[in-house]
């Protein structure tokens, strides 16, 4: 049973977003980390990079597979979680505390396309 945190928004590609003013804090869901297995590497963009909603901004690698990270919003990367460079296992330990990037959003309207926790729960049960 995957953990889902209420109050976050979710994408169908299993990223979560926490909205903090105009900044979107982005990570991956517990479902995503459990599907991936032990994460061995997190490929992240750099601060200042532009990301586009629906396009990849990095990737997770595990013993099993490599999986792209898709940005749930468009905007500019304002922070990357550098702790993940040396300790990618943090995502396995708690995917909701260990965010991956923070994005200054261009258009907060894009958040309307994301799922709330109840809708995401239904989505992963399918």
Partner 1 sequence: MRYYDKLVFELSRDGRSAFSLPEAPAIRLPESVGRKSNLELPSLSEPDVVRHYTNLSQMNFGVDTGFYPLGSCTMKYNPKINEEIPGMFAGIHPLEPDCAVPGIKKIFEGIDRALAELTGMAHFTFEPCAGAHGELTGLMLIRQYHISRGDLARTKIIVPDSAHGTNPASAAVCGLEVVEVKSGPDGLVDVESLKPLLGPQIAGIMMTNPNTLGLFEKNIAQIASLIHGCGGLLYYDGANMNPLLGVVRPGDMGFDVMHLNLHKTFSTPHGGGGPGSGPVGVAPHLVKFLPEFGNEGELRVSGFHGNFGVILKAYAYILMLGKENVPMAGRLATLSANYIKESLKDCYKLPLECICKHEFVFDGLIDDGAHDEVPGATTLDVAKRLLDYGFHAPTIYFPLLFHQALMIEPTETESLETLDAFIEVMRTIAQEAAQDPMLLHTAPHNTPIGRPDETAAARQPVLKWTKSN
Q: Given the rule CB under 8 A, which residues bind partner 1?
A: 38, 40-41, 61, 63-65, 88-89
Q: Where are the alpha helices (DSSP H) in 1-126?
A: 30-36, 83-86, 90-93, 117-125
Q: Give min distance, CB of 13 to partner 1, in A.
A: 13
Dist CA 49 CA 120 (whole Å): 28
112 contact partners, CB below 8 Å, separation of at least 6: none
**Residues present in the chain in total:** 126
Q: Which of 53, 102 has the CB closer to partner 1?
A: 53
CB of 60 vs partner 1, minimal distance in Å: 12
Q: Which residues face 76 on adjacent strands?
A: 50, 104
Nearest to partner 1 of 83, 89 (CB atom):
89
- Collapsing DSSP to helix, strand or coil, 107 comes out as coil
Please report how close the Cβ of residue 51 comes to partner 1 at its closest, in angstroms: 17
Q: Considering the complex, state which of residue 45 and residue 105 has its C-beta at the smaller distance from partner 1.
A: 45
**Considering beta carbons, is residue 88 or 95 the nearer one to partner 1?**
88
| Min CB(61)–partner 1 separation in Å | 8
């Amino acid at each position: 049973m995957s953990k889902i945190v209420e109050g976050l928004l979710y994408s169908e590609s299993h990223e979560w977003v926490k909205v903090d003013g105009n900044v979107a804090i982005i990570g991956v869901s517990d479902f995503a980390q459990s599907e991936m297995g032990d994460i061995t590497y997190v490929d992240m963009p750099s601060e200042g990079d532009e990301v586009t909603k629906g396009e990849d901004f990095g990737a997770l690698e595990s013993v099993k597979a490599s999986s792209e990270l898709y940005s749930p919003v468009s905007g500019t990367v304002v922070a990357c979680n550098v702790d993940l460079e040396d300790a990618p296992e943090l995502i396995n330990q708690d995917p909701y505390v260990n965010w991956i990037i923070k994005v200054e959003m261009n258009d907060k309207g894009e958040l309307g396309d994301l799922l709330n926790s109840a809708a995401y729960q239904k989505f992963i049960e399918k």
